[in-house]
Structure 1
Amino acid sequence: MKTFIALDFDKKTKKNLGNIQKYLKTSASKGSWVYIDNFHLTLKYLGITSIDNLEEIKKKLREIARKSLNIKLKYTNLGYFRGKDVLRVLYLDLKGETEKIYEMKNKIDTNLEVIGFHKEKKKYIPHITLGRRIVFENRIYEINENIKNELNKPFKLDKLILFKSEQIDNKRVYTPVEVFPLKDCD
């Protein structure tokens, strides 16, 4: 099964992200949009994962979550990874306790490396993916201005999740394999 590790959002945050995405869709001439239930913050893509490795992964993630505080963030401006003639990935930047995300990502990389999952070589940029292969009719600056009232809303990440990724009825579905609560710092 294909798996990845992520921090998940509560329903209110997913609804807010969905509202931003609705506006963006009206400004785009083409693109593929993330389904509202699939919004998450990826920490590590594991790929095809054997059943034999799952218990060891869960054990390591349980230990990491047990020692990690929840994370308070806000989403700020639109960002993107450019592709040829399109925005390959359209996302929201994050601000707030981002150092906790980097710490958790580093712990996951270090702990899973000993069971065969290599550290990624490219720089990690925490972000919320909204869509892929997007073409806008307006400039990003103008679109950012139009959604600024929807930005800077605070939210809290309080669970680390090992997800299974599969294609069901031509739709990408992410199903939690196991949820690992983070320590509450309030």
Structure 2
Amino acid sequence: MRVFLAIEFPDDIKEYLDQVQQVVKKKSVKGNFTNKKNFHLTLRFIGETRIDELDKLKEAINKISLHQSYFQLSFSKLGQFTKGNKRIIWVGIKHNEILNQLYILLERALDEQGYPREENSFVPHITLGRQVVLAEKLDKINEKIHIDKMVIPVRKISIMESTRLNGELTYIPLYSKSLIFQ
């Protein structure tokens, strides 16, 4: 199975991201856009994993959740990753020291479980679309879209499976661990 560790969003946040995505779609020639129900914040992509390895992932998130209380995030602006002429368009997360510390603790916990540390730097974002061809420059689109600074509650960390159901990419939570409430 193909898995990743993530922060899941409540429905109102997914609805908002869908509204932003609709504007981006209108400003795009084409793209492979994320299904609204799949919006999330990836903390760490793991990849192909055997079912018996899930216990190591559970142990890692259980360990960090013991020391991490609920916190909140907010959106920043639209951004992109480019590879050649292919673009991933995303909504960024405003700098958040608690999220950065959570990521560092997660990396340590995963390293202790035998997962090598991530080589790329952590750029927290929510993917709106892949292989997007924009009709105009992203700077121009950013000028037209006001990204709301709404509060995004972070209450748990989840192990998610990426699979296809009836031909549709679907993310299924396999295990979630609540953060402590203070």
Same-fold status (TM-score > 0.5): yes
Offset of residue 85 of structure 1:
2.1
Root-mean-square deviation over aligned CA pairs: 1.5
* 1:102 pairs with one of 100, 103, 113: 100
Asked whether the equivalents of residues 65 and 180 of structure 2 are also in contact (C-alpha less than 8 Å), the reply is yes
**Could you tell me which residue of structure 2 aligns to residue 63 of structure 1?**
63
In the aligned structure 2, how far is the partner of 1:61 from the partner of 1:84?
35
In the aligned structure 2, how far is the partner of 1:71 from the partner of 1:172?
29
Q: AA paired with 2:93?
A: L
Whether 2:24 is the aligned partner of 1:24: answer: yes
Q: Alpha-carbon deviations, 1:83-128, whole Å to 9, x = none?
A: 22232x11112115x2122211111211121222110111111111
Offset of residue 13 of structure 1:
0.4
For structure 1, list consecutive stretches of 5 or more residues without a partner in the other structure. none
Offset of residue 159 of structure 1:
1.4
* 1:115 pairs with one of 104, 113, 116: 113
Name the SS for the 1:120 alignment partner. coil
**Could you tell me which residue of structure 2 aligns to residue 136 of structure 1?**
134
Name the SS for the 1:179 alignment partner. strand
* 1:179 pairs with one of 170, 176, 181: 176
Whether 2:149 is the aligned partner of 1:152: answer: yes
Normalization by structure 2: what TM-score? 0.93
- Deviating above 4 A after TM superposition, structure 1's stretches of 4 or more consecutive aligned residues are none
Name the SS for the 1:134 alignment partner. strand
**Could you tell me which residue of structure 1 aligns to residue 3 of structure 2?**
3
Name the SS for the 2:145 alignment partner. helix
Name the SS for the 2:84 alignment partner. coil
**Could you tell me which residue of structure 1 aligns to residue 53 of structure 2?**
53
Q: AA paired with 1:52?
A: D
In the aligned structure 1, how far is the partner of 2:109 from the partner of 2:127?
26
Name the SS for the 1:142 alignment partner. helix
In the aligned structure 1, how far is the partner of 2:148 from the partner of 2:127?
15
Name the SS for the 2:114 alignment partner. coil
**Could you tell me which residue of structure 2 aligns to residue 41 of structure 1?**
41
For structure 2, list consecutive stretches of 5 or more residues without a partner in the other structure. none
Normalization by structure 1: what TM-score? 0.91
Offset of residue 182 of structure 1:
1.4
Q: Quick one: percent identity of the two aligned structures?
A: 27
In the aligned structure 2, how far is the partner of 1:117 from the partner of 1:103?
18
